[in-house]
A and B are shown apart, each in its own frame.
Chain A
Amino acid sequence: MIHDLLFAPFGDPAVRMALAGCIALAFGGAPIGVFLVLRRTSLIGDALSHAILPGVAIAFVFAGFSVLWMTIGGLLAGLATAILAGVATRMSAIREDASLAAFFIISLAFGSLLVASFGTDEELVHVLFGRVLELKAEALLTIAGIATVTMAALALLYRPLIAECFDPGFLRRAGWTGALVYTAFLSLVVLNLIGGFQALGTLMAVGLMMLPAAAAGFWSESAGGQIAVAIALTIGAALAGLVFAFHAGTPPESSIVLTAGVFYLVSLAAGPRDSIGARLIRLRHLEA
């Protein structure tokens, strides 16, 4: 009974591949999501996922459904948008959010113009919403590779990234490194969104990056702790979402992201730190 409920789904190799893909995504995307939340730039993931779309679409139009070309196309479009926006922010008085909004909309409009001119295909829906159960070995390797690069880069960038998050002025005065750190970080965001779209599509990929990260803030006080919680929640959402989709016959991609959404709502309501529940329960205060 329990075996049928919990283990039977993973008898299917496609489901196992999907799970492997999501676990790899967790190790890359969750820490990135935590840093986005801590920098108060949670919506940048959304903006950049729109920015990579034209690159992916153009590659699709010219090279068909090729993981390699769609990855390269998305990477170029996303990085170009992020770097142009970052350079514009640092060279003028425009704020980061306005700058990014401007450039990702330009990127999106340019992409739609190209796609509309050179024809479209129903397979493009695939790019938008993904097909996690058709994850090929090639795509899985890409995702795992991106997760590996991300973890290595984060190990190197951890201190400057923390510094740039909580005291950007100090890092700026320490030299030119602020811009470098910021650009490297945005590149990691783009890379992980690319990884995510292989499995879940560009739209759902942001969900798996941001929901566990936002939920993690209700569980841990330190940045490291939040990263650990976010990774665990992502893997949990993948497991539960795949099991649910298998039995209920729902699309696995949205099931996984919705499970992550449920985790977020539960954390918001009952997480031990700063949640609605934690604020309602008033324990007796301590001695002064």
Chain B
Amino acid sequence: MSAGAVRLEDLTLGYQRHPAVHHVSGSFAPGSLTAIAGPNGAGKSTLLKGIAGELRPLSGRIALDGLKPRDIAYLPQIAEIERRFPVSVLDLVALGAWRRAGLFRSIGRDDLALAHHAVDTVGLSGFEDRPIGTLSGGQLQRALFARLLVQDARLILLDEPFAAIDQGTTADLVEILKRWRGEGRTVIAVLHDDALMRAHFPETLLLARACVAWGATEEALRPEHLLAARRMCEAFHDDAAVCRP
């Protein structure tokens, strides 16, 4: 599978003219597995939203090398999922086949088999017909990963996929991340767990509104970088002047 690179070119993203990600340049290599680290308010989720195409840059640009919007799968931090809605786990997972089935075509036998297989892969066998409202937080996250598996995207963006998820589930889901990398997909995940990044993520982007460090994880997460990130990340001023680089 050929995956495209994601290049950030002097990218500034933000809200109401206030930058949350400020003049960041660099690129995520095709087939790389990158963690985005940084304190709260550092612009990590904003950057992911920008790459997913949900937020227009204030300036600069995001070059998606040969990637169309349909090639991107994005799992937001708090999915706007209505848990009380009566759909089953299998229905939720099969929704990943949207790109192929579209609005009106039926979910084909192949995609249904894929959905069943994905449910097995994330360890939810036997839960296919359970309404999503009866799942625990970890089980729902497993189901959402199964949907990502069915989506078969070349670029996968995950916003704090392991927040409030126990170690066992995290370990299972990290294996899926590695599998994606092995299949040549580009994976970018926002994380808070330094140990997890050091153990499983070859590359890290340390963000504190501006880019603090971007490269091999051990190098990016050096103590002086972490300290710098904590200092740089402070609230914006209401009367901030116009930025003229």
Binding site for B on A (CB under 8 A): 38, 40, 156-157, 159-160, 162-163, 165-170, 173-175, 177, 181, 221-223, 226
Q: Are B85 and A174 in contact (CB under 8 A)?
A: no
Complex Cα distance A174/B82, Å? 18
Decide: A173 near B87, CB < 8 A? Known: A166-B81, A167-B79, A167-B80.
no
Contact A166 B103 (CB under 8 A): no
Known: A160-B103, A170-B95, A221-B131. A165 touches B54 (CB 8 A): no
Known: A38-B85, A163-B98, A165-B85. 6 other contacts (CB 8 A): A156-B103, A162-B85, A167-B81, A222-B86, A223-B86, A226-B86
Contacts of A167 in B (CB 8 A): 79-82, 92, 95
The 6 A-B pairs of least Cβ separation, nearest first, read A166-B85, A169-B80, A166-B82, A174-B98, A160-B103, A167-B81
23 A–B contact pairs at CB < 8 A?
Answer: A38-B85, A40-B82, A160-B103, A162-B85, A162-B87, A162-B91, A163-B98, A165-B85, A166-B81, A166-B85, A167-B79, A167-B80, A167-B92, A167-B95, A170-B95, A173-B53, A173-B54, A173-B74, A174-B70, A174-B98, A175-B70, A221-B86, A223-B85
Q: Is the CB of A156 within 8 A of B99?
A: no
Chain B hits for A181, CB < 8 A: 103
| C-alpha gap A177/B98 in the complex (Å) | 11
- Docked Cα-Cα span, A157 to B103, in Å, equals 7
Q: Is the CB of B95 within 8 A of A163?
A: yes
The answer to whether B52 touches A173, judged by C-beta atoms less than 8 angstroms apart, is: yes
User: Who on chain B is nearest to A161 by CB?
Assistant: B103
Interface centre among A38, A167, A175, A177 (most CB of B within 10 A): A167
Tell me how far the C-beta of A44 lies from the nearest C-beta in chain B, rounded to whole angstroms: 16
B57 contacts chain A at the CB level, 8 A cutoff: no
**Chain A residues whose CB sits within 8 angstroms of the CB of B82 once the complex forms:** 40, 165-167
**Could you say which residues of chain B place their CB within 8 Å of the CB of A156?**
103-104
Q: Which of B5-59 contact A (CB under 8 A)?
A: 52-54
Encode B59-83 as 1/0 by CB contact (under 8 A) with A: 0000000000110101010011110
Report the Cα distance A166→B131, complex, angstroms. Answer: 12
Judge whether A169 and B99 touch: CB under 8 Å: no
B109 to chain A, nearest CB (A): 17
List A contacts of B98 (CB < 8 A).
163, 170, 174
CB-CB under 8 A from B103, the residues of chain A are: 156-157, 159-160, 177, 181
CB distance from A177 to the nearest CB of B (A): 6
Q: Closest Cβ of chain A: how far from B95's Cβ, in Å?
A: 6
A39 CB to nearest chain B CB (Å): 8
Bound CA span A255–B87, Å: 35
The interface residues of chain B lying within 8 Å CB-to-CB of A226 are: 86
Closest B residue, CB atoms, query A217: B86
B contact residues around A177 at 8 Å (CB): 103
Q: Within the complex, what minimum Cβ distance (angstroms) separates B161 from chain A?
A: 15
Complex Cα distance, B42 from A238, in Å, reads 59
Least CB distance, A113 to chain B, in whole angstroms: 37
Q: Which residues of B lie under 8 Å from residue A157 when comparing CB positions?
A: 103
A167–B79 CA distance with the chains assembled, in angstroms = 8
B28 to chain A, nearest CB (A): 19
Select which of B69, B87, B92 is within 8 A of A223 by beta carbon: B87
Question: Which residues of B, 205-223, contact A by the 8 Å Cβ criterion?
Answer: none
In the complex formed, the residue of B with least CB distance to A165 is B85
Does A169 contact B76, Cβ atoms closer than 8 Å? yes
Chain B residues within 8 Å of A162, by CB: 85, 87, 91
For A181, give the chain B residue with the smallest CB separation: B103
Alpha-carbon separation in the docked complex, A174 to B98 (Å) = 7
In Å, the complex CA distance between A40 and B84 comes to: 11
Q: How far is the CA of A174 from the CA of B128 in the complex (A)?
A: 23
- B residues less than 8 Å from A168 (CB atoms): 80
A243 to B78, CA, bound (A): 51
B105 nearest in chain A by CB position: A159
CB distance from B115 to the nearest CB of A (A): 14
- In the assembled complex, the CB of B11 is this many whole angstroms from the nearest CB of chain A, namely 20
- Of all chain B residues, which has the CB nearest A157? B103
- What residue in chain B is nearest A39 (Cβ atoms)? B82
Q: How far is the CB of B245 from chain A (nearest CB, A)?
A: 28
* In the complex, chain B residues 129-168 whose Cβ is within 8 Å of any chain A Cβ: 131-132
Minimum CB–CB distance from A68 to chain B (whole Å) comes to 31
Q: How far is the CA of A166 from the CA of B135 in the complex (A)?
A: 15
